[in-house]
Chain A
Amino acid sequence: MAKMLPSDAEPKRLTKRRRESSLWWMYLPSVLLVFLFIIYPFFDGIRISLTNWNGFSQIYDYVGLEQYKRMFADPDTWLVVKNTLLYGIGSAILQNIIGLGYALLLNQTLKIRSLTRTIIYLPVIISPIVMGYIWYFFFAYQGGALNDIISWLGMEPVNALGNPDLNPFIIVFVNTFQFVGVAMIIYLAGLQSISKDYYEAANIDGASSWSKFKNITLPLLMPAITINIVINIIGGLKLFDVIVSLTNGGPGNASQSMSTFMYSLYFARQDAGYAATQGVLMAVIILVLSMAALIYFKRKEVEA
C-alpha cells in the first residue's frame, strides 16, 4: 500500500478531504422524512390557517387573519385552552409530587421495593387508550366500580364522567396514574446519584429530616425536577387518547383538549381552516410553556 503513495503530502490531503466531506447521503433519508412529515406540514398548517378551506373542496379563499379573530372570540377556544392547561400543568404538578414521594419511599431497602416499582411503572407500557377504558370501568355511571362502593355506603350513584365540573380532573388523575412511574424512575436515579457524605455531614450537625430534605435532597434533585416538569407538561398539553376513551371530550366540549377539539373541528365539522388555526395556537402554547418551564427551572439549577 505505502508504495503507491508518491509523497507524504498525498495521504494528508486525502484524509483532510475525507474528514471534511459531510457524508450527506447518510442522513438524506432522515432529512427527507422529517421534512415531508413534520416541517412541511407545520408551515403548510400556517398557510391553511389563513384560509376558509373546508377540508375537501378545491375552491377556497385566503381570508387573512379572520380565523384568528374568530378563534379569539370563540368561547370554546378558552374552555379548551383552560382544559389543556389543566391537563398540562395539573398533571405535571401531581406527577412530580407523587413521583418524588414514591421515589423517596422506594429509595429505602424495603422487601417489596421491586414489586412496588414494577406495579407503579406498568401503565407506562400500556396504551393510553386502553388505560382510559380500564378507568372507564372504574368511573362508569352504570356498573362502574366506584358506584358499587358508593351504593354500598347507601349513597346515590354519581355520574362522574358525565359531570363537566368533575371529569377534567378525572382525566388529570388517569394521566397522572399512567405516567407517574416515569417521574418516579427519574427521581430514583437522581436520588441514587446524591453522595451519602452530605447526609452524614448533616447528621453530625444534628440536622432534622426536613432540613436535610430541603437543603440537600431538593437542590441536588433540580436537574431531575427540570426534566420531569418539562416532559410532563408537554405530555399533558398534547393529551388525546385518554380523553377519547374516557369522555370523548364531552359532555358538549366540557373536557375537550386542544388535540381532541382540533380533531372534531376537522373531521366532524369540516372546518379545516379553523382547525389549522387551532393547531397553530396549540403549537405556540406548547412551545412557550415548555420553554418557559425549561428556562425557569434551569435558572433554579444554577442557583442551587
Chain B
Amino acid sequence: MNQISKRAKWLSTGAALLITLCHVVPYYILITTSLKRAGDFSSKWLLPDYFSLENFTLAWEEANLSTAFMNTFIITIAAAAMLIIFGSLAAYALARRQTKLNKYIYMLFVAVMVIPPLTALVPLYQLVVDAGLMNTRLVAILNNVAAFLPLTIFLYAGFIRSTIPKELEEAARMDGASTIGVFFRVVFPLLKPITATVLILSCVYIWNDYQFAIFFLQDSDMHTLTVALSSFFGQNTSQLGLVGAAALIASLPMVILFLLLQRFFIEGLAAGSVKG
C-alpha cells in the first residue's frame, strides 16, 4: 500500500514537473528572442553566447515606451480610483436601501454585466468623436470605469450585505454623523478586503487593455503599452528581438507585482472572473 502510494506520488511529481516545463517554454523563447542582436538568426531554443541588452535600450526608445508607461499608469490608477469610489458609494446605497427604485437600479447593473461593451463599437466610437474625446486619456479612463462598474458594484454590494453589521452605522448616526460621513468614516474602512479585490482586478485588466486603447488612443503621444507594442510590432516584423524586448519590458511590472502579492492576485481574480 505504502509502496504504491509512494510510487503514485513520484508519478504525480513527475507529471507536475513536465507540465511546468511545458508552460515555461514560451517565456524561455521570449527571453532568448529578446537577448539576440539583430542579424543573429540562431535557433530560438539557444541562448546567445554573448550578453547584450541592446534590444532593451533600443526598444525603450524606438517604441516610445516611457510615454506609453506614463499613459498606462495614469489611466490605470485614475480608473481604479474612480471605480473604487463610485462603485462603493453606489453599492452602499443599493445594498442598504431596498426601495423599489434601488431594486430596479441594481437589476439594471446586473443585466448590463452580460452586454460586452464592444459589441456597440460603432456608436461608441461615434459618441467619443462627437464629444471631442478622441485621443484623450480621459476617454480610456471613463470607458474602462463604465465597463467595470457593474462588476465592482456587484462585488461591493455582496460584501456589504454579508459582512458589514448595520448596528455600526446606526451607532455612528446616533452621534449625529451625516450619511456620507458614516460611509467614509465607518463603512469604507471595513471594505478593505473587497477593495483590494477590486483594485487588483481592475488594475490587471485596465493595464492590459488593448481593445479600448486601440480604438480611442491612436495618436502616438497617447499610446498605452499594448498599443505602442502592437504598432512597434507592425514596424519591426523582421526584428523580433526588439519586439520581444519591448514585450518583456511592458509585462514586467505586473509580473513582479504578481509574484510579490500572489495570493491576493489569485483570490481577487477568481472572485472577479465571474465576468471574465
Contacts and interface: CB of A to CB of B under 8 A. Distances in A.
Q: Are A and B subunits of one complex?
A: yes
B112 A38 contact: yes
Most buried by A among B19, B225, B275: B19
Contact of B121 (A33, A34, A231, A279): A279
A108 B12 contact: yes
A111 B147 CA distance: 41
B26 A34 contact: no
Contacts of A201: none
B273 to A, nearest CB: 5
Interface in A137-154: 137-138, 140, 143-145, 148-149
B101 A24 contact: yes
Contacts of A227: 273-274
Given A38-B146, A275-B122, A276-B122, A27 B127 contact: no
B153 interface: yes
Given A27-B93, A55-B122, A262-B121, A129 B116 contact: no
A185 interface: yes
Contacts of B214: 244
Given A41-B127, A280-B119, A137 B29 contact: yes
Contacts of B41: 143
A143 B149 CA distance: 44
B122 A26 contact: no
B19 A120 contact: yes
B93 A45 contact: no
Interface stretch (A164-172, A191-199, A282-290): A282-290
Interface stretch (B53-61, B63-71, B190-198, B250-258): B250-258
B90 A30 contact: yes
Contacts of A1: 176
Interface string B87-114: 1011011101101011001001100101
Interface residues of B, number: 92
Contacts, number: 271
Residue with the highest number of chain A CB atoms closer than 10 Å, among B9, B16, B259: B16
Interface string A248-289: 000000000001001100100000100110011011001100
A111 B44 CA distance: 31
A5 interface: no
B266 A121 contact: yes
B122 A133 contact: no
Interface in B1-45: 9, 12-13, 15-17, 19-20, 23-27, 29-30, 33, 41, 43-45
B73 interface: no
Interface in B165-205: 176, 179, 183, 204
A287 B43 CA distance: 45
A106 interface: yes
A23 B210 contact: no
Interface string A49-63: 000000100000000
A79 B153 CA distance: 38
Contacts of A29: 86, 89-90
Given A41-B117, A129-B208, A137-B44, 9 more contacts: A24-B93, A37-B117, A42-B119, A105-B12, A127-B226, A130-B251, A137-B240, A182-B269, A279-B120
7 contacts: A26-B89, A29-B90, A34-B112, A41-B117, A105-B16, A138-B29, A282-B119
